[in-house]
Amino acid sequence: MDNLKQRYAELGITDKVYDFTQSVYRSLEDRFKKIDLTAEYNQLKVIDAMHKNRVSEACFMGSSGYGYNDLGRETLERVYADVFKTEDALVRPQITCGTHALALALMSNLRPGDELLSPVGKPYDTLEEVIGIRPSRGSLAEYGISYAQTDLMQDGSFDYDGIRKKINEKTRMVTIQRSKGYQTRPTLSVSDIGKLISFIKGIKSDIICMVDNCYGEFVETAEPSEVGADMVVGSLIKNPGGGLAPVGGYIAGKKECIDNAACRLTSPGLAKEVGASLNILQSFYQGLFLAPVVTSSALKSAIFAANIYQKLGFDVIPDADEERHDIIQSVILRSPEALCAFCEGIQKAAPVDGFVKPEPWDMPGYDSPVIMAAGAFVSGSSIELSADGPLKEPYAVYFQGGLTSPHGKLGIMMSLQSLVDKGIVRL
Ligand SMILES: *Cc1c(COP(=O)(O)O)cnc(C)c1O
């Protein structure tokens, strides 16, 4: 395929970068086949749920005003419930993002005097203000809901004794973050989450177990809701939106938990009955339909990146051979120049704003400048190819997404080309 090499050359990829990355890519074929099997399984799961719930063109019509009797919205929520094997689901454009979905699940299911426990260490940054770990207007803490935390052990395993000690008569809910997010701990497998939930319910059976499912959907063939989670929560501009959903979040789980969330999202008494879907539903359905394969593309890109950069002597988390439980890849680049060069390469591969050079900036809420590469059809979407990192030691870049695997591959090749062009990496 010499004309393929020529095509890459026209995008600035030199022979050396092409030959090196191509040989790494070829060495991953067996692993990619396994990922394809997971995608195939999950694709069947989604189609089966669509069949069972008789998805039809009428489901794309949408509603306006109050949004009573919105067939498409109600059917979509049943499809989500079937995909996640839960009693019910809330899937709405009015849930603005993942943080909102998580805040909603927490605030609607906890009452004053209750305690929330995180048995897996510090939760995602944005949840600190939701919970009130960092004092914040409207936090759970302001409503008299307390918070306890047990950190993971040094090796990333659960501190079972520590968790047991933290569970008391006030403990009403547990929050388990599946993805490592931007921490260095390992991501949890669905099976590990299942063991943790059984342990917790064995101590106090009425604890509500919520899983922050962000970045984890469709990476495995089972979801945490199949191993005991009472609620799984996530963002539609990550995996389950398949790159097509332009906004939204979901909560899937026990009927009572979803009823609580619906009453909080809209109003007591109105619950799930209102919420106009306008013209958004087709993108939610089609995005969910594509999500298993889109997630598999993102996974392949992450594994490709890990292998390329580990071979070049960089520390990568997860490492080149590790089993994957989410789509985030980090590479420790060790210098600000390398971090910026990597992000410039990813940006150059973007279908949107590919001509833009990303610059570090002082983002609110961060203690050092942050550089971000994103050229997405949906603003801020991180199922689309994106990379970012804070300009501080150890200069780690977090890389995720890629709606198609050729695009993810190109992004990684461009990132390496950029490092080579700047003399940071020699092949
Ligand atoms: C992205 C993410 C969130 C928050 O989602 P937003 O849509 O950015 O608000 C929460 N938890 C984890 C693990 C995430 O990856």
User: Tens of pLDDT along 218-239?
Assistant: 999 999 999 999 999 999 999 9
For residue 341, what pLDDT is reported?
98
pLDDT in tens, 41-87: 999 999 999 999 999 999 999 999 999 999 999 999 999 999 999 99
* Four-residue CA torsion sign, 217, 219, 224, 226: positive
CA dist., res. 301 & res. 59, Å (int)? 34
CA dist., res. 398 & res. 386, Å (int)? 8
Q: Are 308 and 300 in contact (CB under 8 A)?
A: no
Provide CB contacts within 8 A for 379, sequence distance 6+. Answer: none
Residue 246 clears pLDDT 90, i.e. is over it: yes
For residue 364, what pLDDT is reported?
73
* Integer angstrom CA distances of residue 219 from 222, 298, 427: 8, 10, 33
CATH topology of domain 2-42+289-421: Aspartate Aminotransferase, domain 1 (3.90.1150)
Provide CB contacts within 8 A for 240, sequence distance 6+. Answer: 80, 217, 218, 234, 250, 287, 288, 291
For residue 184, what pLDDT is reported?
75
Ligand 1 pocket test, pick from 100, 124, 176 with the greatest ligand atom count within 8 Å of Cβ, gives 124
- Determine the number of helices (DSSP H) and then strands (DSSP E) in the chain: 12, 12
The secondary structure element, H or E, covering residue 89 is strand 88-92
CA dist., res. 185 & res. 156, Å (int)? 6
- Tell me the domain boundaries of the chain: 2-42+289-421, 66-278
Q: pTM surpassing 0.95?
A: yes
The first and second tokens of residue 352, run together, are 């949107």
The first and second tokens of residue 129, run together, are 């203000």
Least confident segment among 7-21, 182-196, 277-291, 354-368: 354-368
For residue 367, what pLDDT is reported?
77
Examine domains 2-42+289-421 and 66-278 and report if their fold is the same: no
For residue 1, what pLDDT is reported?
59
Ligand 1 pocket test, pick from 210, 235, 239, 400 with the greatest ligand atom count within 8 Å of Cβ, gives 235
Residue 196, SS3 per DSSP: helix
Centroid of ligand 1 to alpha carbon of 127 (angstroms): 9
Centroid of ligand 1 to alpha carbon of 98 (angstroms): 5
Least confident segment among 36-45, 179-188, 299-308: 179-188
Q: Return mean pLDDT, the chain.
A: 96
For residue 373, what pLDDT is reported?
96
Centroid of ligand 1 to alpha carbon of 309 (angstroms): 26
Percentage of the chain beyond pLDDT 90 is 96
Give ∠ CA 147-248-245 in degrees, rounded to 5.
Answer: 145
In ligand 1, which atom is closest to the CA atom of 181? Answer: 13
Estimate to the nearest angstrom the gap between the alpha carbon of 6 and the chain centroid.
35
For residues 287-292, average pLDDT: 98
For residue 366, what pLDDT is reported?
74
Residue 365 clears pLDDT 80, i.e. is over it: no
pLDDT in tens, 314-328: 999 999 999 999 999
Q: Are 28 and 303 in contact (CB under 8 A)?
A: yes
For residues 180-192, average pLDDT: 88
For residues 269-285, average pLDDT: 97
Ligand 1 interacting residues, C-beta cut-off 6 A: 97-99, 124, 126, 177, 179, 181, 212, 214-215, 235
User: According to CATH, what is the number of the domain 66-278?
Assistant: 3.40.640.10
Residue 175 clears pLDDT 90, i.e. is over it: yes
For residue 425, what pLDDT is reported?
97
For residues 89-118, average pLDDT: 98
- The letter for the amino acid at 157 is S
Residue 399 clears pLDDT 70, i.e. is over it: yes
For residue 186, what pLDDT is reported?
86
